[in-house]
């Protein structure tokens, strides 16, 4: 069996994790999150590639580059979650199953964070578990990719 390939995208300011508002985002750094995802990927027998960008255009290009190469996407679009039609459109166009993740519980925060442009086109959203949101998001995506199709399970 060839391993499923999964792209993990981190949006703006997530390169500052560990130093950035630790009361909200915790002390875990982005390299530590990526290392944890790599370990979990080995256990799940998938291949994870992680990418961080502060630029909306670069995130759109990364999603476009994933077409035909990756099996799914785990994305924390950070502030672009609440503003970016371009990232949502790229994800929708890719037709890749996408899990949206957030370290903080965006529904317990300011009202402007409580709307996500990505949620309606994602298979699901995990929000509020700190660094574990990524870990849970990866597991959820892999389970989704491996579950029998509705047709097959109904047959
Ligand atoms: C975030 C929540 C966003 O509202 C915020 O802009 C971020 C991080 C989170 O992971 O909790 O940068 O996506």
Q: Give, in order, the Cα–Cα distances in Å from 136 to each of 17, 55, 57, 96, 150.
A: 18, 25, 27, 18, 23
pLDDT at 1: 62
pLDDT at residue 72 in the model = 98
144: Cβ below 6 Å to ligand 1? no
* 3-state SS class at 20: coil
Tell me how many helices (H) and strands (E) the chain has.
6, 5
**Residue 115 bears catalytic tag:** no
- The CATH superfamily assigned to 5-154 is Dehydroquinase, class II (3.40.50.9100)
Q: What's the gap in Å between 16 CA and the centre of ligand 1? A: 12
How confident is the model at residue 149, as a pLDDT?
A: 76
Where are the strands (E) in 11-155, listed by range? 47-52, 72-76, 98-102, 124-127
- pTM for the model: 0.95
Residue 62 dihedral angles phi and psi, to the nearest 5°? -65, -40
- Ligand 1 pocket member 76 (CB < 6 A): yes
Query: Residue 68 has what pLDDT?
Result: 93
Q: How many C-beta neighbours within 10 Å does residue 1 have?
A: 4
Mean per-residue pLDDT pooled into runs of 10, the chain (155 residues): 91 98 97 98 98 98 97 98 98 98 98 98 98 98 90 47
Q: Which residues contact 147 (CB under 8 A, 6 or more apart)?
A: 153
**Within 13 Å and on the Cβ side, how many CA atoms surround 39?**
8
């Amino acid at each position: 069996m060839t391993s499923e390939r999964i792209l993990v995208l981190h949006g703006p300011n997530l390169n500052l994790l560990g130093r950035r508002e630790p009361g909200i985002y915790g002390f875990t750094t982005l390299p530590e999150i990526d290392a944890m995802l790599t370990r979990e990927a080995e256990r799940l027998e998938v291949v994870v590639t992680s990418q961080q960008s502060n630029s909306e255009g670069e995130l759109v290009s990364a999603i476009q580059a994933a077409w035909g190469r990756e099996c799914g996407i785990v994305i924390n679009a950070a502030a672009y979650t609440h503003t970016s039609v371009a990232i949502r459109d790229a994800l929708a166009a890719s037709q890749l199953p996408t899990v949206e993740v957030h370290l903080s519980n965006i529904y317990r925060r300011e009202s402007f964070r409580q709307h996500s442009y990505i949620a309606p086109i994602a298979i699901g959203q995990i929000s509020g578990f700190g660094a574990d949101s990524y870990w849970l998001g990866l597991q959820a995506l892999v389970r989704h990719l491996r579950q029998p199709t509705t047709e097959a399970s109904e047959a």
